[in-house]
Structure 1
């Protein structure tokens, strides 16, 4: 990226982080993570029974670092897509509604360049959102539960610093999982001047994909669905780390970004901008 592109990106990120809505979204993610930790602490359940709960949930009381991983797993299906949908869906439609889009393009800023910067800004928010969940999970876990050596899903034991590195990997995996949704939100945002509609449509795409992924009769379709590998980070909690699912997820998200991003580019570069 050129210096001009970096300046534009920095300006977009500052604008994003200066909005109360952005901090409200991050606040919701913080609240969900803290409530999850408090709920586990108050339940007094070690998770070792036969209740059939999530396999990571019972490990929180043994080591607080697992709260960050569990919180990421709990927020990926809905809360993180909701936050990303709000930001990505508003990227172009919000500018059109405010009447600032044509002024941005008159700077001059090429349409392709502006679209790429808008996408990069959404990706930065993804990093902020997953990082917020992970950091809140670590801090809350340290406050509520013991922390020491961690038993991974493979049965191997690693140090607390090694476990913290796994938390970083899972947060990075969650960010990777949302890249395709960012492209979807950006595409929908180029179709309308009503940001609320674009936000809602983006979230609906994420929910519909997860519903389709749960239908056994559509097994042939599952590998192509945007959300198919969203919860596949368990392989990062084994020793040695298995990178197969991460690679599959990266290829899937790259495919969605390429296809839907191309649609967004085709729409935006041929669109009559009147506002």
Structure 2
């Protein structure tokens, strides 16, 4: 006889969801691996950030990594970049990907059903318990990274993705908001983990579903996909938070990606719930729901992917790569203007405004594309930046070699002249200091600007 809500004998014998939820939280936290992960989330990022900040070599290939010596607020952003790629998918696999499968392995479904008397309340309790533990882990990563960075370097202004400086209070708010936005794709992976745990039962593949999904999305983001398809993947919010650190903030991609992630949370959770209610727990050898259920679990997500892709493509002309020469030139010129003023302050030269500098960039590609309109990602972009100083007869010029990623992130490497961007140090009145114009990051907004 299946355990259904209608078969509950008396309302007063029902176990409240809150009690079942507390029981599931205790069960999760009682596992030694969950305890170790919680301890690691609350300690390791801070120790890592503090250790890296003391090293001579910085992770400059990571966004904000080159600023870890300059401000403590760069540390939690470096941790966020790493977590979005590896840590958070693994955490969701261990927690949400195993929350139902553990009952299959231990054979405890009958005992749980007798105690709770409702498959609905069991599902809700397990889902909420897994979300609670995951949120605690994300909070630990955030707090630990921030504390480690501030303790090692200090509360100083942060240089944004477009080169402008954020005051300490603004940097703190942007860092917190970035982690909150990253919580949306994390919950999407958790919901996919719940679905895999329900469908595959004690199979180890259920535990790997969130991690494999995250790896597949990372590989997809490396491909030259249309912008609409890129935004339709729930993992893009792990990248789109970069737009919070520009002036003005690039919120279009971020809002779309967070909305898509939340839609995946709803669809995957509802699918998991409906499939869970269909399970027959009376069979002694019950283990998952079989191949048909796999199809029933995948089809709603595939339909959601197609629907979001069509919606984004219809709302914006975003069927191309979104990377054009005009956008690259605008991004390079903006970052250079901001960082040139920073270098001017370092050298104690007369202050200039960006309006006075009138920075412009002329970019092209070396792959034989038409010089009129090169587009797309690649490591063969090169730009000549021109600026004007008050009272100077001739404009200044600097050359950069660019690598533009498919997700819009660009890395510029200075190629001279030496006194501007050709060397990694500048000689200041107080000694040598890192040259902000030698190498810098930027961000190309893939969606059309309003």
Please tell me the TM-score bracket, short chain as reference.
0.7 to 0.9
Contact 2:49 2:149 in 1 (8 A): no
The reply to whether residue 236 of structure 1 matches residue 249 of structure 2 is no
Indicate whether 1:34 and 2:47 are aligned. Answer: yes
Cα offset, 1:196, TM superposition: 3.4
Counterparts of residues 38-57 of structure 1 (less than 5 Å): 38-45=51-58, 47=60, 53-57=61-65
Deviations 1:78-122 (A, max 9, x none): 111101111011111112212222222223342233222222222
2:201 equivalent to 1:193: yes
Distance 1:241 1:270, change over 3 A: same
Alignment partners' CA distance in 2, 1:155 and 1:223: 25
Query: Is residue 46–residue 59 contact of structure 1 (8 Å, CA) maintained in 2?
Result: no
Deviation at 1:217, TM superposition (A): 5.0
Larger CA deviation: 113-122 vs 179-188: 113-122
Q: Matches of 1:218 and 1:151 in 2, distance apart?
A: 30
SS at structure 1 position matched to 2:280: coil
Count of aligned residue pairs for this structure pair: 269
Is 1:87–2:95 an aligned residue pair? Answer: yes
Question: 1:46, 1:61 within 8 Å by CA — same for their partners in 2?
Answer: no
1:102–1:246 Cα change, 3 Å: farther
Does the 8 Å contact 1:61/1:146 carry over to 2?
no
Shift of residue 31, structure 1, vs aligned partner = 2.7
CA distance in 1, matches of 2:22, 2:58: 46
User: Deviations 1:164-215 (Å, cap 9, x if unpaired)?
Assistant: 2222212211211211111110011012332633112321111112212222
TM-aligned CA deviation for residue 44 of structure 1? 4.4
Which position in structure 1 is the counterpart of 2:210?
Answer: 202
The aligned residue for residue 219 of structure 2 is 211
Which consecutive residues of structure 1, in runs of 5 or more, have no partner in the other structure? 48-52
Match in the other structure for 1:58 = 66
Does the C-alpha gap of structure 1 residues 210 and 46 become closer, same or farther in structure 2, counting only changes over 3 Å?
A: closer
TM-score norm. by structure 1 comes to: 0.86
Cα 1:242–1:219 change in 2 (3 A) is closer
Point out which structure has higher relative CO (alpha carbons under 8 A, 6+ apart): 1
Alignment partner of 1:22 is 2:50? no
Q: What's the C-alpha RMSD, in Å, of the aligned pairs? A: 2.6
Q: Which residue of 2 aligns with 1:172?
A: 180
CA 1:245–1:14 in structure 2 vs 1: closer, same or farther (change >3 Å)?
A: farther
Task: Choose 262-271 or 24-33, whichever is displaced more.
Answer: 24-33
Bigger strand share = 2
Name structure 2 gaps, 5 residues minimum. 1-14, 285-450
- Rounded Cα–Cα distance in structure 2 between residues aligned with 1:140 and 1:119: 32
In the alignment, structure 1 residue 137 sits paired with structure 2 residue 145:
yes
1:71 matched residue in structure 2: 79
- CA 1:10–1:35: 2 relative to 1, 3 Å: same
Whole-Å separation in 2 of the counterparts to 1:138 and 1:151: 16
Give the match for residue 119 of structure 1.
127
Report 1:264-275 matches (<5 A). Answer: 264-273=272-281, 274=283
Displacement of 1:72:
1.1
TM-score under structure 2 length normalisation: 0.54
Q: Distance in 2 between matches of 1:158 and 1:223?
A: 27
1:148 partner SS: coil
- Is the 2:53–2:149 Cα contact (8 Å) retained in structure 1? no
More helix by share: 1
User: Which residue in 1 is equivalent to 2:362?
Assistant: none
Tell me, in whole angstroms, the C-alpha distance in 1 between the residues paired with 2:26 and 2:110.
20
